[in-house]
Amino acid sequence: MNEQQSKKLDSKVPAGPLAEKWDKHRFDSKLVNPSNKRKFTLIVVGTGLAGASAAASLGELGYNVKAFFIHDSPRRAHSIAAQGGINASKNYANDGDSVWRLFYDTIKGGDYRAREANVYRLAQVSEAIIDQCVAQGVPFAREYGGVLANRSFGGAQVSRTFYARGQTGQQLLLGAYQAMMRQVDTGKVTLFKRREMLDLVTIDGRARGIITRNLLNGEIEAHEGDAVLLCTGGYGNLFYLSTNAMNSNATAAWRCYKRGAMFANPCFTQIHPTCIPVSGDHQSKLTLMSESLRNDGRVWVPLKAGDKRPPSQIPEQERDYYLERRYPSFGNLVPRDVASRAAKAVCDKGMGVGTTGQAVYLDFAEAIGRLGEAVIRDRYGNLFDMYEMITGENPYKTPMRIYPAVHYTMGGLWVDYNLMTTVPGLFALGECNFSDHGANRLGASALMQGLADGYFVIPYTIGNYLAGGGLDKVSADQEEFKTVMAEVNGRIGKLLGIKGKRDPRDFHRQLGKIMWDNVGMGRNEAGLKTAITEIGKLREEYWQNLRVPGEPTTLNKYLEFAGRVADYFELGELMARDALHREESCGGHFREEYQTSEGEAQRRDDQFAYVAAWEFKGDKAEPEMHKEELKFENVELKQRSYK
Ligand SMILES: Cc1cc2nc3c(=O)[nH]c(=O)nc-3n(C[C@H](O)[C@H](O)[C@H](O)COP(=O)(O)OP(=O)(O)OC[C@H]3O[C@@H](n4cnc5c(N)ncnc54)[C@H](O)[C@@H]3O)c2cc1C
């Protein structure tokens, strides 16, 4: 470490042996008496897996919950798109799994940039998540004898991924949604649909409410509460093209950052190796082909650069199964960051396939030959159908063409062990926090984390916060709310008042290109400096030349996007700044200056074994970086190897 641990970041990790920390912490935490719980009102923003599971659990405990979301139904949250599965260390496959192994794989998979205590807790509660979901009726795949089935995901040598065909997120979300709706029925949870949180209200330094815009009639509303739980998902859409749902955005988290919540490791972005490649300038969305496909699909490119023959005419000996060649022990199931970089490397050398040369093959011929088409259809039928609908090619007959794309953000609001941000009373759950995945998330671990946070962590830690006292009653009529409402109205007026020539999506597309070219899969000092300058210029033009047609008092998608894109400019610059300062390669952050002779990521633990948490210092000032030193007492820091 070249600087001391920041005094502003107290991770509140409990003392004691790793395996006992969570139990001890739960025992040491204060409780809220059952009859006092109904005196508290909790604001939950977002009802994807993290938010719906939190709202359901907190309602069940007896708290009053107000749940806000931008969609018309909680079932439309981005979580519904999750395909491949959810990890848990049940060891049903009897292949050597354990809490300890899931913990170890996650720390190693994250390239040693996550907090040990959080990750261990995640592995511990993973087993309870599966029990909870089964009890709710989530239809996980089963073996012939009835036991839940497992498959493998990247970065693990055991099969620990529970799944419901290629629709795991949908089924889990239906489970959480039903549990939440039960509480809606009892009156403990109140839903506020089609509301976008546009700001946070703090009183005496504590989070006490939010300002929302009703997306249907434009009304700006103030809502008070005793704590605010942000469950608003990730910010991958900043890159314009990503696998995220179109409505995923960074606004709520970003506005909280500007109210004092530090933003941790913003540059840690996951580029997923198996997505349908970009086919032209017209696209606004990329489609994921689940990692589960790498259980049976083999990745290859032609051995010879520029080989344009169709795949069926390229004989075995003229193919390079480069993942199997480079990483014999993990083969096609290396973690995402490793697989993505390897795909980029072969394409950069001219071996890429398809019209753009920016694709590699994912080939099921061998598996179909071995298992039969029916088995493959049973495992991945809906994914194959989706691929065929988009590309017009039949993947049972010809290999899929895939290429890496932005998929997930490991960075997010900094939280302590209790999931509380640096603003007291503001908690962050699910993808919008930075907590458990370090510099690279392993496949099937996001659903696990979102549900761990919502079902099993926050119910304890929020009680400890509320029981700490000092929460006087506040009302949305108070001056503090009015002031923030006026600021929100002012900002909307400003966006509408520019009356320039370019619409927000046009700016967004250009921002996305700057980000992908310079803050994407490969990053270097010159590119990152260029990104900071170019983002600054484009942002200036945005505030001079933006065109937002329509009214503020009706459904106005342009206005919604305009606010989000304005936030993307600021967050994009912070991402570039964070990537520039981190002079090492780790996980999804690949600084080209720091690589081994074999092209692998080269960490610099003596300098960078810390979480970088950025503090907003004002629109005209540079943000200040704080460091949370990461201590590894239970795993040995090693060069990651999947060979
Ligand atoms: C295509 C795809 C497939 C995936 N497959 C898997 C998988 O198989 N396994 C796995 O573990 N992970 C997977 N992931 C990752 C995983 O789906 C996400 O990380 C996870 O679902 C995020 O859940 P969440 O609850 O944190 O947020 P989300 O599900 O994104 O929910 C966000 C919620 O916040 C609301 N919201 C957002 N902004 C605002 C605002 N300003 N005001 C009010 N409400 C707001 C939204 O309405 C929504 O309700 C996949 C991701 C993608 C893109």
In this structure, is residue 541 part of a structural domain?
yes
The whole-number pLDDT of residue 1 equals: 39
DSSP per-residue string spanning 430-495? GGGB--S-TTSPPTT-HHHHHHIIIIIIHHHHHHHHHHT-------TTSHHHHHHHHHHHHHHHHH
The alpha carbon of 80 and the centre of ligand 1 are apart by a number of angstroms equal to: 8
Q: How many C-beta atoms surround the C-beta of residue 372 within 10 A?
A: 11
In this structure, is residue 5 part of a structural domain?
no
Among 58, 85, 29, smallest CA distance to 429 is for 58
The whole-number pLDDT of residue 280 equals: 79
The whole-number pLDDT of residue 4 equals: 56
Q: Are residues 82 and 230 in the same domain?
A: yes
Q: How far apart (Å, rounded) are the C-alpha atoms in residues 358 and 200?
A: 42
- Read off the CATH number of the domain in which 327 is found: 3.90.700.10
- Read off the CATH number of the domain in which 212 is found: 3.50.50.60
Closest ligand 1 atom, CA of 445? 11
Q: Are residues 440 and 305 in the same domain?
A: no
The whole-number pLDDT of residue 154 equals: 85
Nearest residue by C-alpha to atom 4 in ligand 1: 82
Pocket test for ligand 1, best of 288, 447, 451, 457 (most atoms within 8 A of CB): 447
Q: Are residues 439 and 494 in the same domain?
A: no
In this structure, is residue 618 part of a structural domain?
no
The alpha carbon of 602 and the centre of ligand 1 are apart by a number of angstroms equal to: 30
In this structure, is residue 102 part of a structural domain?
yes
- Read off the CATH number of the domain in which 567 is found: 1.20.58.100
Closest ligand 1 atom, CA of 46? 34
The whole-number pLDDT of residue 456 equals: 98
Where does a domain end: 391, 406, 421? Answer: 406
In this structure, is residue 619 part of a structural domain?
no
The alpha carbon of 553 and the centre of ligand 1 are apart by a number of angstroms equal to: 28
The whole-number pLDDT of residue 643 equals: 87
In this structure, is residue 629 part of a structural domain?
no
Where does a domain end: 467, 493, 513? Answer: 467
Nearest residue by C-alpha to atom 20 in ligand 1: 79
Where does a domain end: 357, 389, 406? Answer: 406
The alpha carbon of 81 and the centre of ligand 1 are apart by a number of angstroms equal to: 8
Q: Are residues 130 and 168 in the same domain?
A: yes
For β-strands 426-428 and 227-230, DSSP reports them as parallel
Q: How many C-beta atoms surround the C-beta of residue 606 within 10 A?
A: 9
What single DSSP character describes residue 296?
A: T
Annotation says 336 is catalytic: yes
Q: What is the pTM of this model?
A: 0.96
Pocket test for ligand 1, best of 71, 75, 79, 241 (most atoms within 8 A of CB): 79
The whole-number pLDDT of residue 2 equals: 40
In this structure, is residue 435 part of a structural domain?
yes
DSSP per-residue string spanning 551-597? -TTS--HHHHHHHHHHHHHHHHHHHHHHHHH--S-BTTB-BTTSB-T
DSSP per-residue string spanning 233-261? ---GGGGSS-SS-TT--SHHHHHHHTTT-
From 113, 336, 341, 640, active-site residue:
336
Closest ligand 1 atom, CA of 430? 26
The whole-number pLDDT of residue 6 equals: 77
The alpha carbon of 233 and the centre of ligand 1 are apart by a number of angstroms equal to: 5
Tokens 């192994």 correspond to what residue?
101
Can you tell me whether residue 333 is helix, strand or coil?
helix
Q: Are residues 369 and 228 in the same domain?
A: no
What is the token pair recorded at 416? 């302590």
Q: Are residues 284 and 222 in the same domain?
A: no
Range(s) of the domain holding residue 157: 40-271+408-467
Q: Are residues 123 and 264 in the same domain?
A: yes
Identify the residues whose C-beta falls under 6 Å from ligand 1.
45-51, 68-71, 77-79, 81-86, 168-169, 195-197, 231-234, 243-244, 248-249, 251-252, 288, 407-408, 430-432, 444-447, 450
Pocket test for ligand 1, best of 78, 200, 241 (most atoms within 8 A of CB): 78
Q: Are residues 169 and 301 in the same domain?
A: no
Q: Are residues 126 and 253 in the same domain?
A: yes
Q: Is 627 left (phi over 0), alpha (psi -120 to 50) or beta?
A: beta
The segments of the chain whose pLDDT lies below 50 read 1-2
Q: How far is CA 333 from CA 156, 285, 327, 608, in A?
A: 8, 25, 9, 28
Bridge partner list, 214? 195
In this structure, is residue 580 part of a structural domain?
yes
Say if residues 283 and 241 touch (Cβ distance below 8 Å).
yes
- Domain count along the chain: 3
Q: How far apart (Å, rounded) are the C-alpha atoms in residues 340 and 267?
A: 17
The whole-number pLDDT of residue 48 equals: 98
Q: Are residues 61 and 210 in the same domain?
A: yes
pLDDT digits (tens, 9 = 90+) for 387-440: 999 999 999 999 999 999 999 999 999 999 999 999 999 999 999 999 999 999
The alpha carbon of 74 and the centre of ligand 1 are apart by a number of angstroms equal to: 11
Q: How far apart (Å, rounded) are the C-alpha atoms in residues 253 and 346?
A: 37
Q: Are residues 508 and 579 in the same domain?
A: yes
Q: Are residues 280 and 266 in the same domain?
A: no
